[in-house]
Structure 1
């Protein structure tokens, strides 16, 4: 039977009303051709003929996963004492082609990857013209996929390119809420090995996780787009009882509560701004900023404990609001599966903020993998720079590797790996 879409005007054949194959409009917008005047408000020129043929194990186009578990995850995050206050991640632009594979399960109509026919080039100019055509068409396909990813998966709207970049990208555009009235972050593109960088602010995270679970975002980043590390994620805990104040955090630092499982305890930075005000016979401090920072801003773990009430300029009496916030860089994307458990596993101070029934989940990059990558990287560059010389020496000394190594050793020492590297490398062997 012939059907027509009242949204885009497409004409197609199907056994029953289904999603439009052109614009993915819902079955309620599909009208049988036997109806009177189906194009009363739209163009009478159909865009093409479409025939839908069911395949074996074919999932209907209108199949969308909405399970009770998904909504349970959203409720768990809303009731969690730990929130995500900032999120940054980088995706290879070419990996957005995998979004189409998820369309039957997500119900999101991503564009189809373009197909190119073979062409016989008769000159170098033909090759250049074909390559330019290929890049332009494929880039337009990837850009449209990114636009639908932003609007349908993340739930944001986007603006026009601003003509200025950030984070060493050539250009960027802003992210706004779905209605376009709230600033939610920005996206950098152009350069950096054909990657695209998403930077979502704290206000944007509220919009993102209002109706999308952390498991949903983890599935798209890790399983579909191949993101294994988050460039940055901020986890925050709010205290409204006046227990975990800046002074309490400083006392905890004196006992080594901010120290992680390895390394030294972080340095403490007091970032207070206050005035002295006469209070009877004495002077009293009136703070305009109260904050304690633990660690270095360039390190992978950086803590900030500050008075959120002063930051928001709240003047209400008998009200306390302190926030303990940790900034994690280059962190495992699996922390999205359990933000509260990953927060507890950071150090003793984080564990003291939350109830004891929360199981710690260690989600940082594995030390063995990091050490193995360091050693493999050093060996790779040594082989690339001096591999031929070593081959010549092995041939010269007739395969005596001990003489080869002794002839290459320097008398002034060398760049040694840490002792932890040696222990972990021995466990890998």
Structure 2
């Protein structure tokens, strides 16, 4: 995909891989991406309070016919008042996590997390439970990663537990996968330069473009700032997974509870909240499926592994068959190891082993 043209007054071109700095309009929030293409959270948001909080959707436009399932939850942090006083309270928490999400506490991490003194794994690396400390106002934190969110058995049950504990959502990420690239990243950049992400109130949101300069590793456009509680990531997901020809683009909205209230309803009907985030995101309407996303990720991962295997061991396999006289069955017996490669070893969303 060709890079779009930009006005030099609006954009300083940048690439994450080539070490150049890019800014659209003004400096944006500093972000370092992780393997999932999302951003790492490095500060304690669990105790954020606002004197005059506003509803997260206040002042934002709504689609005329929003699809509640046009987005899925890709990250969730929430705090609630809970203290670990001994083994009995851990057992009680374990029971509630299973009832709410379908998975339990894992091993103790034996270290702090953010401002909390103690922390445990949740499930099989699905997230972190943290508690204790003088600066957390008697709260505990549950943080679920994208994989953890994909494994939640029932968001209805999860919401009931959050209501019961009067929990506060401090971060939630809402994602929409555009597998066919109907709205390309280049189009999103053009929308930004045209002011289509600006609601007309206040200053336009900051933007930052991370350009791959045609390498095929994928571009990323950031709209907004995390420090302001609202950050949109638009990135070429398929390319970042290893397919340089993939049209797959992901739109991912990261919301924090800074100066805003994030309602629990966002967990049940995430689509309208993503569609209403900016004037130009009203197009987001197609129903999302975590199973379809997992399948797409696996297919791309398998293609990448086959490509690398051919480059690294193709001649060896040819030699074994045509020079050494091995049959295909003998080659498989000699080279295969039981198990799935980590790149495609994804649990089925909604099921927990």
TM tier relative to shorter chain:
0.5 to 0.7
Distance verdict in 2 for CA 1:90–1:322, change over 3 Å: same
Are the equivalent residues in 2 in contact too, given 1:82–1:236 (CA < 8 A)? Answer: yes
User: What is the distance in 1 between the residues matched to 2:89 and 2:199?
Assistant: 41
Partner of 2:232: 303
Are the equivalent residues in 2 in contact too, given 1:272–1:287 (CA < 8 A)? Answer: no
Partner of 1:164: 111
Partner of 2:268: 337
Are the equivalent residues in 2 in contact too, given 1:81–1:238 (CA < 8 A)? Answer: no
User: What is the distance in 2 between the residues matched to 1:220 and 1:340?
Assistant: 22
Distance verdict in 2 for CA 1:353–1:303, change over 3 Å: same
User: What is the distance in 2 between the residues matched to 1:175 and 1:200?
Assistant: 8
1:192-238 superposed Cα distances (whole Å, 9 cap, x missing partner): 22221011011111101xx31x333222212x1112x3110000111
User: What is the distance in 1 between the residues matched to 2:242 and 2:87?
Assistant: 46
CA root-mean-square deviation: 2.3
Partner of 2:190: 251
Partner of 1:188: 130
Pairs within 5 Å for 1:358-369: none
Say yes or no: does 1:234 pair with 2:173.
yes
1:344-402 superposed Cα distances (whole Å, 9 cap, x missing partner): 222212212226xxxxxxxxxxxxxxxxxxxxxxxxxxxxxxxxxxxxxxxxxxxxxxx
Are the equivalent residues in 2 in contact too, given 1:300–1:329 (CA < 8 A)? Answer: yes
Partner of 1:81: 70
Partner of 2:151: 207
Max radius of gyration: which structure?
1
Distance verdict in 2 for CA 1:85–1:261, change over 3 Å: farther
Partner of 1:398: none
Partner of 2:160: 219
Pairs within 5 Å for 1:364-379: none
Q: Residue 198 of structure 2: SS of its match in structure 1?
A: coil
User: What is the distance in 2 between the residues matched to 1:93 and 1:139?
Assistant: 12
Pairs within 5 Å for 1:53-68: none
Partner of 2:254: 327
Q: Residue 112 of structure 2: SS of its match in structure 1?
A: coil
State the TM-score, normalized to the length of structure 1. 0.47
Say yes or no: does 1:351 pair with 2:303.
no
User: What is the distance in 2 between the residues matched to 1:290 and 1:298?
Assistant: 22
User: What is the distance in 2 between the residues matched to 1:167 and 1:347?
Assistant: 31
User: What is the distance in 2 between the residues matched to 1:230 and 1:260?
Assistant: 24
Distance verdict in 2 for CA 1:256–1:200, change over 3 Å: same
State the TM-score, normalized to the length of structure 2. 0.56
Matched residues, number: 214
User: What is the distance in 2 between the residues matched to 1:248 and 1:306?
Assistant: 12
**Could you tell me how far 1:139 is from its partner in structure 2?**
4.6
User: What is the distance in 2 between the residues matched to 1:175 and 1:254?
Assistant: 42
**Could you tell me how far 1:244 is from its partner in structure 2?**
1.6
1:77-128 superposed Cα distances (whole Å, 9 cap, x missing partner): x99331111111011106xxxxxxxxxxxxxxxxxxxxxxxxxxxxxxxxxx
Which blocks of at least 5 consecutive residues in structure 1 are unaligned?
1-77, 95-135, 177-181, 275-284, 356-429
